[in-house]
């Protein structure tokens, strides 16, 4: 069976319909249990509570502003393609996770087909293409990009990078301008999906190094300069539209001064060695997958020496196959696509090791190991037909094994509790795991385990910006348990730690309202007012309660302030109607 020159041609020819449908059906089966899985982590502030993506009328602003990235004031990001996709998704699915998981799965399926085609073009062997696409599709390390909705930034940018590279391969083989135009268009979409796409031109250069064509250097350099110009243009636009970060939000990306460059370089180098080694390990042995991988402080020690020794051996291995071209090129693919991740240890201490960030790298690894495995199979068949068949059977068993692990990983993503219980079993010393598990139990109204894990997270030396959330959530647990004294103490502690954040003020306001102290309730409910839908809903409901219990003036002041802050999005129309109905009773009051 031989594949056609490209998968962009339609209609699909009979000789390649079967593998395409095989990949499609395998993907649907492996990820069939994802559609009931919940929203997690960044999904809430970027989708569920981000009113910017709740209306298609704001799509135009996504390209010229970074302020639509999140519903949390002060959190910005310039990924217009992701925002447009989220807005379209919300228009169809609303707040139901199933539609978002369907889109994530569709992205992953298409990306797998592109891996399948790229592997074929690189090796000119259909068996390697099919195996590479299958490995990439069902590998457990890729389960996160389907289950974690916000990680679609990793899969979407990788999809466009793969499409751009595939078109580049066709351009190098056929020298037709349409392929170059398609490659450029896909690259632009990759940049607008995630800034990590800026490394793609390095992959083009690596291809030309290991697969040299009879082209003049001027031709090659001209194309590289076009892609480089797009990178510079994108970075300039991103810098302009992102604006200045809010002083109210702790920055995960501090500025590096001149004295910190050496430390930054050290952390980047040692952190890069660790990350590349462990991403490769998880590809080969995906038994310890988790939402929160521990990341040790970068340092020269025995572990680092062993990792460096491993990569030196790997370099000699690759050098031994340099005439094959495939090995050195795919090794460079793995390193180039991880370069943006290598920078993280030097600029942040939180969430450095995430599985979804290696998505594009896994594509290269899938092709690399598919090539090795098919080579081994063919060599065995040359010696013994039976040995080749036995190896092929083991290979098929490996694919089934990976599929089962992926299916089971999907089950872990069902809820916050299932997700963080799994993480806690694998990394019980992480403060973020304990805190998140406590928050999961809080949302499920399991007060005792929630309180236990919040207290436990305090014992694990959390960063200062997390103390506010821990104490505020502990106050909520005590409130629900009826321990008003402890609840009040925890709310006050949270406000003292971060007076600019709204949640503890709202909780204190509700606490005063339950006590009958209308004036203090109004002050707290109106303090540090943000526009998040859930918070606004709490404030409006509390104001109406104040009005019914004799606090008309305080309620009116609060409603006027809320009305002034409500976003223009249509989802707030119900709140506007409630406020208008109340304020109409007072002639001359503005609205």
Name the nearest CA neighbour of 536 among 498, 505, 565. 565
Instruction: Kindly give, in sequence order, each residue whose CB lies less than 8 Å from that of residue 458, ignoring residues fewer than 6 positions away.
Output: 467, 470
pLDDT of residue 317: 79
pLDDT in tens, 78-93: 999 999 999 999 999 9
Q: What is the pLDDT of residue 57?
A: 86
Instruction: Report pLDDT digits (tens) over 484-500.
Output: 999 999 999 999 999 88
Could you give the residue ranges of the DSSP H alpha helices within 124-256? 126-138, 143-147, 152-174, 177-193, 200-210, 217-242
- 80 vs 323, higher pLDDT: 80
At 267-291, the pLDDT tens digits run 889 889 999 999 999 999 998 899 9
DSSP state of 85: H
Q: pLDDT at position 47, please?
A: 93
Long-range contacts formed by 317-323: CB under 8 A, 24+ apart = none
Q: Which of 133-137, 219-223, 375-379, 463-467 has the lowest mean pLDDT?
A: 219-223
> What's the CA gap between 578 and 276, in Å, rounded?
55
Q: What is the mean pLDDT of residues 420-430?
A: 94
**pLDDT exceeds 90 at position 135:** yes
Tell me, what's the pLDDT at 362? Answer: 97
Task: Output the six-digit token pair for 190.
Answer: 């990759």
**Residues 409-421, mean pLDDT to the nearest whole number:** 96
Q: Residue 476 in contact with residue 507, Cβ under 8 Å? A: yes
Q: How high does pLDDT run on average in the chain?
A: 87
Here the tokens at position 350 are 């939180």
Q: What are phi and psi of 377, to 5 degrees?
A: -60, -45
Residue-level pLDDT at 447: 96
pLDDT attached to residue 213: 75
Q: Distance between CA atoms of 288 and 322, rounded to whole angstroms?
A: 33
Lowest-pLDDT choice from 1-15, 124-138, 286-300, 514-528: 1-15
What's the maximum distance between 2 C-alpha atoms anywhere in the chain? 95
pLDDT of residue 333: 95
pLDDT at 586: 53
Residue (of 100, 66, 65, 107) closest to 86 by Cα position: 100
Least confident of 93-97, 241-245, 409-413, 414-418: 241-245
pLDDT tier for residue 294 given thresholds of 50, 70 and 90: confident
Max avg pLDDT among 141-150, 267-276, 290-299:
141-150
Q: What is the mean pLDDT of residues 191-215?
A: 90
* Rg value, the chain, Cα: 27
Q: Which residues contact 397 (CB under 8 A, 6 or more apart)?
A: none
Least confident of 106-120, 135-149, 377-391, 567-581: 567-581
- pLDDT, mean of residues 458-472: 91
Distance CA 379, CA 388 (A): 8
What pLDDT does residue 567 have?
83
Q: Is 41 left (phi over 0), alpha (psi -120 to 50) or beta?
A: left
């Amino acid at each position: 069976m031989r594949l056609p020159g490209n998968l962009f041609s339609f209609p699909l020819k009979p000789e390649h319909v079967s593998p395409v449908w095989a990949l499609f059906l395998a993907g649907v089966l492996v990820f069939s249990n994802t559609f009931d899985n919940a929203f997690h982590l960044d999904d809430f502030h970027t989708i569920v509570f981000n009113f910017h993506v709740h209306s298609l009328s704001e799509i135009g602003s996504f390209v010229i502003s970074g302020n639509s990235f999140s519903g949390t004031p002060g959190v910005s990001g310039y990924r217009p393609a992701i925002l447009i996709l989220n807005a379209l998704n919300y228009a169809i699915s609303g707040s139901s996770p199933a539609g978002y998981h369907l889109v994530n799965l569709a992205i992953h399926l298409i990306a797998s087909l592109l891996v399948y085609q790229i592997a074929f073009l690189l090796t000119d062997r259909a068996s390697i293409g099919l195996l590479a696409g299958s490995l990439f599709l069902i590998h457990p390390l890729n389960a996160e990009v389907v289950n974690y909705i916000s990680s679609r930034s990793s899969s979407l940018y990788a999809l466009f990078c793969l499409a751009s590279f595939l078109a580049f391969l066709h351009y190098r083989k056929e020298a037709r301008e349409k392929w170059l135009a398609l490659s450029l268009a896909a690259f632009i979409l990759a940049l607008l999906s995630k800034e990590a796409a800026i490394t793609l031109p390095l992959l083009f250069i690596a291809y030309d190094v290991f697969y040299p064509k009879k082209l003049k250097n001027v031709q090659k350099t001209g194309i590289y300069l076009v892609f480089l110009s797009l990178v510079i243009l994108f970075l300039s636009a991103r810098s302009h539209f992102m604006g200045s970060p809010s002083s109210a939000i702790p920055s995960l990306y501090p500025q590096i001064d001149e004295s910190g460059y050496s430390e930054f370089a050290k952390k980047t180098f040692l952190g890069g060695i660790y990350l590349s080694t462990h991403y490769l390990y998880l590809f080969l042995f995906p038994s310890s997958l988790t939402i929160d991988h521990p990341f040790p402080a970068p340092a020269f020690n025995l572990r680092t020496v062993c990792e460096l020794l491993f990569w030196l051996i790997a370099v000699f291995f690759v050098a031994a196959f340099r005439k094959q071209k495939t090995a050195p090129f795919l090794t460079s693919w793995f390193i180039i696509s991880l370069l943006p991740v290598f920078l993280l240890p030097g600029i942040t201490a939180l969430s450095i090791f995430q599985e979804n960030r290696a998505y594009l790298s896994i594509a290269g690894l899938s092709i690399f190991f598919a090539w090795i495995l098919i080579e081994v199979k063919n060599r065995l068949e040359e010696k013994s037909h039976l040995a080749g068949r036995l190896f092929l059977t083991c290979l098929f068993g490996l694919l089934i094994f990976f599929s089962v692990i992926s299916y089971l990983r999907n089950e872990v993503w069902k809820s916050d509790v299932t997700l963080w219980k799994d993480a806690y079993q694998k990394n019980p010393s992480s403060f973020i795991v304990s805190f998140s598990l406590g928050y999961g139990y809080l949302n499920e109204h399991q007060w005792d385990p929630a309180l236990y894990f919040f207290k436990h997270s305090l014992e694990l030396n959390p960063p200062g910006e997390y103390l506010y959330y821990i104490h505020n959530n502990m106050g909520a647990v005590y409130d629900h348990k009826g321990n008003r004294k402890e609840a009040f103490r925890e709310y006050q502690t949270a406000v003292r730690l971060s007076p600019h954040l709204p949640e503890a003020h709202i909780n204190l306001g509700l606490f005063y309202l339950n006590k009958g102290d209308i004036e203090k309730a109004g002050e707290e409910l109106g303090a540090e007012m943000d526009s998040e839908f859930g918070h606004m809903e709490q404030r409006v409901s509390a104001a109406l309660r104040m009005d019914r219990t004799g606090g008309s003036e305080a309620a009116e002041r609060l409603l006027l302030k809320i009305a002034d802050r409500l976003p223009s999005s249509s989802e707030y129309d119900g709140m506007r109607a409630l406020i208008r109905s109340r304020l109409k009773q007072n002639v001359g009051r503005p609205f």
